[in-house]
């Protein structure tokens, strides 16, 4: 018998599935915290810091930084 192969972490289908899962969890968290007065105060004080509690926002910020670094390297 041969050993089972582990699926690659860079598998495109796996990345899409993780993104969809994270979006669903973040949507649920956003619905629960939208009516929270403390959350609204934190949004007004520090929008980026407060929203970075959502995984999809952290991923988007990381992607934006990668794009900016790539543009700087080209220049």
Tokens standing for residue 38: 């403390």
Mean pLDDT for 32-48 is 87
Confidence of residue 6 (pLDDT cuts 50, 70, 90): low
Cα 54 vs. chain centroid, distance in angstroms?
6
> Tokens 């004080």 identify what position?
45
Q: Residue with structure tokens 């007004």?
A: 44
Q: How far apart are CA 17 and CA 36, in angstroms?
A: 29
- Is the pLDDT score of 26 beyond 80? yes
pLDDT above 90 covers a percentage of the chain that reads: 15
The domains of the chain are located at: 32-75
Is the pLDDT at 3 greater than 90? The verdict is no
Residue found by looking up tokens 């969890």 in the block: 25
Decide if pLDDT at 9 tops 70.
no
């Amino acid at each position: 018998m041969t050993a089972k192969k582990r699926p690659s972490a860079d598998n495109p289908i796996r990345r899409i599935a993780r993104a969809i899962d994270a979006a669903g969890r973040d949507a649920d968290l956003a619905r629960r915290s939208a009516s929270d007065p403390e959350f609204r105060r934190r949004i007004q004080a520090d929008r980026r810091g407060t929203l970075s509690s959502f995984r999809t926002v952290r991923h988007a910020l990381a992607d934006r930084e990668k794009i900016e670094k790539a543009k700087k390297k080209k220049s």
